[in-house]
Structure formats: structure tokens, C-alpha cells
């Protein structure tokens, strides 16, 4: 579906990406891929354990292993944020554990159910889609898209979607489940290719996940892990939660511009005009790809839609009032019980997925009742059932992904790989700028196999922060470099747990879409964001611009 009226250079680039797409779509079913990866990890763990492969390192950790837990692509969901004062530095030796030893075989047989039941992404998807499904089936999503199209010029829709994706990390992984399907439908509504909207939203949500214009829940624990690592070199030196604030804000705006450029100049041109004949049939359990609401809706009743939007608005307003009453008063249930904070270790931050789901649920019901697309509680239950039924294939995929991640973690291979790479980089005799660049590139590469925001930092901070302090590079600068390296590869790693869901959304509009389709779309985002953001970081560092209020780039 590529546009043939392009320059020779663009045609060559498109052909290269098309080759990747074709190759990716010819690989076996993703379920077979993860089954094969499980077998590979089992065999490789036996080989490495036979040769007694092990590493020794300092690590920042909390009781119970808080930040060390690897969520296999989830950017924060399911991580139990510890009390910052409990984070300590310890020295550990980690050896490869064989999955074919007596203990390993016992783990394979006894952990199958718990691996899946404790894989929090499954619950997050089901809970989030509960509210979204009702909103979609009631017709609210289609009405919102039409309203967005009516009030926003077409050129601004991409920028709006990308920017909303960039700041969606305040709600952890909600952007993946809500914004990406909405963006595809919005692009379709204005005559653009829906996969271009999907790609722009995915890049906005994930390629800059570690930065935001707001303070996010993960900022607190990243800061405390950093402080514990700082104590190894200078116990008197500490940083605060705003240490990267200026860098985060400007980076959010910069990456938004880069993603919008890639979307409009590369991705939309490559995809060309959309052919709706290849769309998934509405009877497959999805709403109409055109975004008009339910699959059975054939015409829009403007008066009913206006009533519905008013009903949805009132429902959202009532929901927000309830949330504010539970958050703002002193001693409110959604405040931190000890500090009263609404951000650090606060129930409000930990329950954002639930709050967003309830708002969508209330809005969907409010729209449906006012527009008369929902007549009873049975219609609400049917909408939820239909939405969950459409996720059956995804749930099976997540079952296999959960096993792979559990086996990978049990073998200790992620830790061994990370520490070995860190030791290699630490031993390099180069200047601070080149060492920062090398650090960012190593983090980017490791992000392909360890996509979580926190796990890598728990290992790398105690190794590199003392090293950079000796080079007079401030800890907040290294933390900013880590945020950069951790983000761009999120959109192309096959271990992103929401990738099967994104493929599922793509198939609504293009039945032939597969893993290769999505990865080929996202490769330009990943590498262009990485290169331009890296150049942006180097210029920022060389100019000595503070990383945050009162936090210079150098000591």
C-alpha cells in the first residue's frame, strides 16, 4: 500500500522497509516465536551454567527486590515501589541458573500457572479495556473522534496525538491501550492511513516514555536509586525529584517535534492512500474501523450524538469531582498516608489505570443513556463481554510471553548480560562525552532485551554514577542520559508486552498486518529519535545547561 509517486531516494528507503515488513510477516506465528524463545532460554541456560558463568557487582535494591523486578516491557505497571529510605547498596554475585537442573525442572513444572497469574499486564489490559470497550460500543469513541476532526485542522491532529502520547506516561501504560486505537481511528476519519496514526501514537507513548513535562511515579524511585548510588562516591551529595525537570520538559517537546516530522514526512508517504477493502470485518469483535461507533451503526444522528456528548461530559465531570474529593482534602484516601503527598508513593498515582477506566466507563454509560445506544445494564455487560472476547488471542500470547520472561529471569541471563556490558564500557579509556554517548548506546541496545525502565538502572547506577562523579559529571546528567537511552528502542523490541495488542489493532484496518508490519513502521522512529535526541543531549551537555532547577550538568 505504498505511494508510487515518490522520489527515487524515498522509493529505495521504502523498499528497504518493505523488505523488513515482508520478512517480519513471514516469520512463524508470534506464539511459535515465544515458544521457540522459551526452548532457547532453557538450552542456553544449561550451557552457560555448565561453564559456571557468573558476575559480581554492586546493586541498588529494596527489600523484596523492588526495582529489580523485570516486567518484560511494561514501563512501570506491577512494580511495587519501595520506601525510598529502604533502598540500599549491596554487593551481589549472580550466576547463571540452569533450567535443566533439578531445581530448574522443578521450577518449569510448578511455576506455569503462577507465571501467568502474576503477570500484571494481563490484568491491566482487561481492566483498561473494560471502560474503553463500553465507551467504544456506546458510540462515544466515534463521536469524540468526529468532534476532534471537526475542531482541529488536519495538520494538527498528528501533533496532538503525539504530544498526548508523550505525556501519557503519567498514567503508566494507559497510552498503549487507549490512545493507540483512538489515533488509528482518528487518522482514518480525516482520510489518512490509520496505520500512520497507530505508528504516531505508539511512538509518542513509547519512544520517549522516560521523559515528561510532569513528575511521574517512576521519577521518585529513579531518584532514590540514584541517591543510593551517589553515596558510594560522595555521601554528602544528593539529588531531588526535579533534578531532570528542565531536561525532561524540553526533551518532551523536542521528541514530539521529531516524531511528528517522521510521521508526516516518512511514514505517511510510505503508506500512501488507505485501501479500506483490506480492513478486518466488523463481525470479528471490533468496532467499525471507521471509528463511527458500534459495528452496526450506519448513520450518525447529530441530535442524539450531541445529547450523548453532553451526557458523557456530565458523567466525566461527576467522576472528576469524586476523584478530587478523594484526593485534595487533608488525610484523603488517595494521599500518601504518612507524607500526605499526591505524587510520591501515593495511592492516586498507583490507581491511575483504575481511575481512567472508571472515567471511560462512566462516560460510555453517560453517552449511551443520553444517545439511547445503551438501554439497560445488559447492554453494558454485553459491551464488556464483546471487548474481552476479542482479546482471547492476545491473552494466549501473553501466557507464552509470561513463561518466556519467567524463564529468562530465572536463568539470571539479563543480569549477567547487563553487568558484563557495563564492565566493558567502564573499562573504556575515553573522555566524558564519548563515555556518555557509549553509555546511552549500550542502554539502548540492552533495552531490546530488558525493556523495563527501572531494572537496568538498579544495576547500572551503582557502576556508572561513581565513575562519572570522578569525571566531574553530575549524577543528574547520567540519569538524563539513561532516560534517553531507555526510550527509543521500546517501539521495536519484540519483548514489548503490548506489541501483540498493537498488531491486533493494526489488523482491524489491514488484515495482512503482522509483527513485521508494525516493526517496519517503527524502525524510522526508533533510529531517528535516538540519533537526533543523542545530538540534542550532547549539545545540552556541552553548553552546560542545567538539567533541572539548581542541578547543573557538571559538578
Tens-place pLDDT, residues 458-510 = 767 777 787 788 778 899 999 999 999 999 999 998 878 788 889 989 998 98
In whole angstroms, give the CA distance from residue 217 to residue 81.
9
Task: Assess whether pLDDT exceeds 70 at residue 291.
Answer: no
Task: Assess whether pLDDT exceeds 50 at residue 290.
Answer: no
The predicted-structure confidence for 203-259, as pLDDT tens digits, reads as follows 999 999 889 997 776 777 688 778 877 876 777 888 888 889 999 999 999 999 999
* Across 6-10, 62-66, 328-332, 372-376, least confident range: 6-10
Cβ 193 vs Cβ 271: under 8 Å: yes
If one compares 148 and 11, the residue with the highest pLDDT of the two is 148
Task: Assess whether pLDDT exceeds 50 at residue 368.
Answer: yes
Cα dihedral angle (7, 13, 18, 19), rounded to 10 degrees? 130
550: left (phi over 0), alpha (psi -120 to 50) or beta: left
If one compares 537 and 346, the residue with the highest pLDDT of the two is 537
Cα dihedral angle (76, 80, 81, 82), rounded to 10 degrees? -160
In whole angstroms, give the CA distance from residue 125 to residue 123.
5
- The DSSP secondary-structure symbol of 499 reads H
Cβ 322 vs Cβ 329: under 8 Å: no
Q: In this prediction, what percent of the chain has a pLDDT beyond 90?
A: 34
> What are the b/e assignments for 36-67, b being 16+ CB within 10 Å?
ebbeebbebbbebbeeebebebbbbbbeeebb
In whole angstroms, give the CA distance from residue 431 to residue 42.
40
Give the cell for residue 383.
Answer: 459491551
Give the pLDDT of residue 2. 47
Alpha-carbon distances, residue 2 vs 5, 267, 304 (angstroms): 9, 10, 39
- In the three-class reduction of DSSP (H, G, I as helix; E, B as strand; rest coil), residue 441 is classed as helix
In whole angstroms, give the CA distance from residue 41 to residue 495.
14
Task: Assess whether pLDDT exceeds 70 at residue 77.
Answer: no
Give the pLDDT of residue 140. 86
Question: Across all residues in the chain, what is the average pLDDT?
Answer: 80
Give the pLDDT of residue 392. 82
Give the pLDDT of residue 73. 35
Beta strand pairing call for 88-95 and 54-61: antiparallel
Phi, psi for residue 160 in degrees, rounded to 5: -65, -45
Cβ 547 vs Cβ 477: under 8 Å: yes
Give the cell for residue 139.
Answer: 458510540
CA proximity to 493, closest of 455, 461, 519: 519
Cβ 184 vs Cβ 508: under 8 Å: yes
* Across 76-80, 279-283, 440-444, least confident range: 76-80
Q: How many helices (H) and strands (E) does the chain have?
A: 23, 2
If one compares 375 and 151, the residue with the highest pLDDT of the two is 375
Alpha-carbon distances, residue 371 vs 141, 302, 481, 515 (angstroms): 13, 10, 50, 38
pLDDT band at 96 (very low <50, low <70, confident <90, very high): very high
Alpha-carbon distances, residue 255 vs 127, 176, 186, 190, 299 (angstroms): 30, 18, 21, 24, 39
**Environment class of 409 (CB within 10 Å of its CB; exposed 0-12, middle 13-18, buried 19+):** buried
Domain boundary assignment for the chain: 16-58+86-293+301-543
Task: Assess whether pLDDT exceeds 50 at residue 332.
Answer: yes
Q: Is the pTM of this model over 0.85?
A: no
In whole angstroms, give the CA distance from residue 467 to residue 427.
10
Q: Hey, how many other C-beta atoms are within 10 angstroms of the C-beta on 110? A: 10
Give the pLDDT of residue 534. 97
Mean pLDDT, residues 402-429: 76
DSSP string of 361-425, one letter each residue? HHHHHHHHHHHTS--SHHHHHHHHHHHHHTTHHHHHHHHHHHHHHHHHHHHTHHHHHHHHHHHHH
Mean pLDDT, residues 175-179: 80
Q: Hey, how many other C-beta atoms are within 10 angstroms of the C-beta on 418? A: 24
Mean pLDDT, residues 69-93: 50
- The DSSP secondary-structure symbol of 487 reads S
CA angle, corner 206, sides to 483 and 66, nearest 5? 60
Cβ 54 vs Cβ 416: under 8 Å: yes
Cβ 207 vs Cβ 169: under 8 Å: no
Q: Which residues pair with 548 in a beta bridge?
A: 551
Give the pLDDT of residue 149. 62
CA angle, corner 363, sides to 499 and 189, nearest 5? 55
Amino acid at each position: 500500500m505504498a505511494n508510487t509517486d515518490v522520489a527515487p531516494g524515498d522509493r529505495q528507503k521504502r523498499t528497504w522497509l518493505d523488505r523488513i515488513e515482508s520478512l517480519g510477516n513471514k516469520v512463524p506465528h508470534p506464539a511459535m516465536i515465544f515458544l521457540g524463545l522459551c526452548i532457547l532460554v532453557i538450552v542456553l541456560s544449561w550451557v552457560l551454567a555448565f561453564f559456571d558463568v557468573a558476575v559480581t557487582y554492586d546493586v541498588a535494591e529494596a527489600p523484596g527486590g523492588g526495582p529489580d523486578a523485570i516486567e518484560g516491557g511494561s514501563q512501570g505497571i506491577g512494580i511495587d515501589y519501595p520506601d525510598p529510605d529502604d533502598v540500599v547498596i549491596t554487593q551481589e554475585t549472580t550466576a547463571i541458573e540452569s533450567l535443566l537442573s533439578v531445581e530448574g525442572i522443578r521450577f518449569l513444572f510448578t511455576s506455569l500457572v503462577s507465571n501467568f497469574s502474576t503477570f500484571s499486564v494481563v490484568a491491566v489490559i482487561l481492566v483498561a479495556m473494560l471502560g474503553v470497550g463500553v465507551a467504544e460500543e456506546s458510540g462515544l469513541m466515534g463521536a469524540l473522534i468526529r468532534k476532534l476532526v471537526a475542531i482541529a485542522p488536519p495538520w494538527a491532529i498528528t501533533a496532538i496525538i503525539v504530544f498526548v502520547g508523550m505525556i501519557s506516561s503519567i498514567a503508566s501504560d494507559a497510552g498503549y491501550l487507549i490512545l493507540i486505537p483512538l489515533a488509528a481511528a482518528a487518522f482514518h476519519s480525516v482520510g489518512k492511513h490509520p496505520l500512520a496514526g497507530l505508528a504516531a501514537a505508539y511512538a509518542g507513548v513509547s519512544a520517549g516514555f522516560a521523559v515528561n513535562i510532569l513528575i511521574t511515579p517512576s521519577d521518585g524511585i529513579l531518584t532514590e536509586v540514584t541517591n543510593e548510588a551517589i553515596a558510594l562516591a560522595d555521601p554528602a551529595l544528593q539529588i531531588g525529584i526535579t533534578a531532570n525537570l528542565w531536561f525532561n520538559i524540553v526533551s518532551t517537546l523536542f521528541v514530539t517535534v521529531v516524531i511528528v516530522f517522521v510521521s508526516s514526512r516518512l511514514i505517511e508517504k510510505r503508506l500512501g492512500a488507505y485501501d479500506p477493502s483490506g480492513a478486518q470485518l466488523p463481525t470479528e469483535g471490533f468496532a467499525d474501523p471507521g471509528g463511527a461507533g458500534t459495528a452496526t451503526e450506519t448513520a450518525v444522528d447529530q441530535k442524539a450524538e450531541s445529547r450523548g456528548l453532553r451526557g458523557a461530559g456530565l458523567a466525566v465531570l461527576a467522576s472528576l469531582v469524586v476523584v478530587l474529593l478523594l484526593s485534595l482534602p487533608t488525610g484523603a484516601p488517595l494521599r500518601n498516608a504518612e507524607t500526605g503527598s499526591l505524587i510520591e508513593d501515593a495511592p492516586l498515582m498507583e490507581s491511575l489505570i483504575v481511575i481512567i477506566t472508571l472515567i471511560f466507563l462512566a462516560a460510555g454509560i453517560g453517552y449511551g443513556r443520553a444517545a439511547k445506544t445503551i438501554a439497560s445494564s445488559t447492554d453494558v455487560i454485553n459491551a464488556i463481554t464483546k471487548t474481552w472476547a476479542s482479546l482471547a488471542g492476545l491473552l494466549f500470547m501473553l501466557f507464552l510471553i509470561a513463561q518466556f520472561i519467567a524463564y529468562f529471569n530465572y536463568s539470571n541471563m539479563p543480569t549477567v548480560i547487563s553487568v558484563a556490558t557495563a564492565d566493558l564500557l567502564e573499562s573504556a579509556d575515553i573522555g566524558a562525552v564519548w563515555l556518555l554517548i557509549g553509555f546511552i548506546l549500550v542502554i539502548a541496545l540492552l533495552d531490546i532485551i530488558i525493556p523495563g525502565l527501572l531494572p537496568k538502572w538498579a544495576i547500572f547506577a551503582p557502576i556508572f554514577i561513581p565513575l562519572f562523579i570522578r569525571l566531574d559529571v553530575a549524577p543528574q546528567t547520567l540519569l538524563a542520559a539513561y532516560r534517553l537511552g531507555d526510550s527509543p528502542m521500546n517501539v521495536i523490541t519484540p519483548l514489548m508486552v503490548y506489541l501483540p495488542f498493537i498488531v491486533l489493532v493494526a489488523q482491524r484496518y489491514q488484515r495482512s498486518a503482522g509483527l513485521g508490519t508494525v516493526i517496519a513502521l517503527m524502525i524510522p522512529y526508533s533510529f531517528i529519535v535516538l540519533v537526533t535526541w543523542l545530538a540534542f543531549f550532547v549539545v545540552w551537555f556541552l553548553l552546560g545547561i542545567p538539567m533541572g532547577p539548581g542541578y547543573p550538568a557538571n559538578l
